[in-house]
Chain A
């Protein structure tokens, strides 16, 4: 992602955007990893 962003918005901005994006994903993944998995089946319709 950084490699794609860097030539478009500059080094510093690319680092900041990439770090924010990774941070957001990491938080979401860690929050949802603790949730019990939903098991939706056709019978639930």
Chain B
């Protein structure tokens, strides 16, 4: 099931209309019931698994006794279940993951931890269920947070501006996926690049790398736009997921602009914890990026990808610290040239790393070899 499928579109449009027709006190139940019905019809095992995880999350967060091991056990259980499914799905001939489980699990952990820390506003079980079973963001994120969702749920009223923004985002999302990524790049540009391959192998490989990277970005950003757009049509402002990531001048900035809902989750619940326990920022960065890699897929290529980005982030942290120390003695920045060089290195590092996760190991090495030596 994907956002591009007509059946998902039919479900989510019906859900938006129904939510506005329901009286305010029934809206949370309506939102949750619609998403559960969607899961039950399209993929019943997913409905069962996600409902069980919701029950565990509610139970764990509701414990008042701070010494009770329930919260730690629940977080380990939720993440363990996700890891088991991801490991099984990555095996050859493995089964499909439950719909939206990667996003859903991180929402559950966020909710359980914040409720345990008493950081959440007073709310009902229906509002909790509406947060977890929110159809626009259920299958492809973003990993939005409970307090913002709850605020919008309580004060939502029909707002022409929000509806217009929502419609525009949905349209731009589908345009990114189908027009720019699907038609312009994949159907028109890439066959043209293939025509260059016999005479100019280096150029064709380089252009292929850029086109594949942009295809991946536009497709994922398009999914996020569609989800954010439908959320707005339902009356909710959920977190943005991308902010011109390819304009980043260093790898830390890139990760502040790319898949923002995931990176902010990892920063809040993993990086901060590891850093406060070890006082080693480089180690925390490495751990955070490794987890981001494994969150995508439990496989050797994503381990290498995560470690490569972790090392790059650690190097960038070291460089920034060193420069900050020097800046005390010398004034002035690196200027325009430094910014352009930073952008160039970051952009190409990201594109090269995309090749690693988009292809098997042999093809990735083939691409790297061609880019280094100039011939295929």
Report A's interface with B, CB cutoff 8 A.
1-2, 22, 25-26, 28-29, 32-33, 35, 37-40, 42-45
Residue from the set A39, A42, A43 with the largest chain B CB neighbour count within 10 Å: A42
Q: CA–CA, A32 to B182, complex, Å?
A: 8
Q: CA–CA, A33 to B179, complex, Å?
A: 9
* Chain A residues with CB below 8 A from B204, complex form: 45
Q: Find the B residue at minimum CB distance from A37.
A: B182
Stretch from B168-176, B251-259, B311-319 contacting the other chain: B168-176
B194 and A45: CB pair below 8 A? yes
Q: What's the tally of chain B residues with a CB closer than 8 Å to chain A?
A: 28
B186 and A42: CB pair below 8 A? no
> Which of chain B's residues 135-190 have a Cβ closer than 8 Å to chain A?
164, 167-168, 171-172, 174-175, 178-179, 182-183, 186-187, 190
Report B's interface with A, CB cutoff 8 A.
4, 164, 167-168, 171-172, 174-175, 178-179, 182-183, 186-187, 190-191, 193-194, 197, 204-205, 208, 212, 359, 363, 366-367, 376
Question: CB within 8 A of B171: which of A29, A32, A39?
Answer: A29
In the complex, what's the smallest C-beta–C-beta distance from B135 to chain A, in angstroms? 20
* Chain B residues with CB below 8 A from A1, complex form: 168
* Chain A residues with CB below 8 A from B183, complex form: 32, 35
Q: A38-B182, A42-B208, A42-B367 are in contact. Are A29 and B190 (CB under 8 A)?
A: no
* Chain A residues with CB below 8 A from B366, complex form: 42
Question: CB within 8 A of B175: which of A28, A35, A39?
Answer: A28
Q: CA–CA, A29 to B168, complex, Å?
A: 13
Q: CA–CA, A43 to B359, complex, Å?
A: 10
* Chain B residues with CB below 8 A from A45, complex form: 193-194, 197, 204-205, 208, 376
In the complex, what's the smallest C-beta–C-beta distance from A15 to chain B, in angstroms? 12
Q: CA–CA, A39 to B187, complex, Å?
A: 8
A44 and B194: CB pair below 8 A? yes
In the complex, what's the smallest C-beta–C-beta distance from B339 to chain A, in angstroms? 27
* Chain B residues with CB below 8 A from A28, complex form: 175, 178-179
* Chain B residues with CB below 8 A from A2, complex form: 164
